[in-house]
Amino acid sequence: MSLKSVLAATAVILAILYVVGQTFSRSITTEVTIAAPPGAVWQVLTNGENVEDWNPFITQLEGNLQVGETLQLTVHPPGASPLNFSPKVLVVDENRELRWLGQTGFIGLFDGEHYFVLEEQEDGTTLLRHGEDFSGVLTYVLFAMFGENTEAGFREMNDALKVRVEAKS
C-alpha cells in the first residue's frame, strides 16, 4: 500500500470519526448569581496567578488569554486525580465570555468546549453560566466515568468564585 493510499484512508477514517463523534455529544451547564458586576467577576476569573488560592477545580491556569493561544490547565474534579490539559482559546470577550477547546488525542475522539458567560442583571449582579459541551466517539464512555465529578467540580468552582468576588466587593 502506498503512502498516498495510507494518507487517504487515514483522512477518510478521521472524517468518519469526526462526523460520528458529533452525534455523541453531552453537555454540562451550571449557573450562579454573583453579587458584583461582570468586571469584578472577570477580574478574578481570568487572574491565573492567584487561581490556586481560591479555585478548587481549576488549580492551574497558565498562558495568554488571547484567541488562538494555548493554555496550560490543571483541573481537579472532586473524587478524581488532577488532569493536565492544553486547550486552545476560542473566545475572549472581556467581561462577557471566555471559551476554550480541549481535545484528547485528535479531533473527534473526545473534545470539550469549556465556557464562562457573564450576564449583567438589572440589579447589578452577574449571572455566570459555566459549562462544557463534549463531543467525540468516546464521549459516552468518558462522560459516564467523569461526568458527575466534572459537574460537581464546576459547581464547587462557581461557589468559590462567588465567595471570592463578593468578599472583594
Q: Tell me, what CATH number does 60's domain have?
A: 3.30.530.20
Provide the pLDDT for residue 159.
Answer: 98
Other CB atoms within 10 A of residue 4 CB: 8
Q: Which residue matches cell numbers 483522512?
A: 11
Q: Is 81 exposed, middle or buried (0-12, 13-18, 19+ CB in 10 A)?
A: exposed
The rounded distance, in Å, linking the Cα atoms of 14 and 71 is 25
Provide the pLDDT for residue 156.
Answer: 98
What's this model's pTM, rounded to 2 decimal places? 0.84
The rounded distance, in Å, linking the Cα atoms of 91 and 151 is 22
Other CB atoms within 10 A of residue 35 CB: 14
Provide the pLDDT for residue 32.
Answer: 98
Provide the pLDDT for residue 22.
Answer: 54
Q: Please give the residue range of the domain that contains residue 57.
A: 3-168
Provide the pLDDT for residue 6.
Answer: 80
Closest listed residue to residue 123, CA positions, set 17, 21, 8, 35: 35
Q: Please count the structural domains in the chain.
A: 1
Q: Please, what are the averages of pLDDT over each run of 10 residues along the chain (169 residues)?
A: 79 66 79 98 94 96 96 93 94 98 80 96 98 87 85 97 94
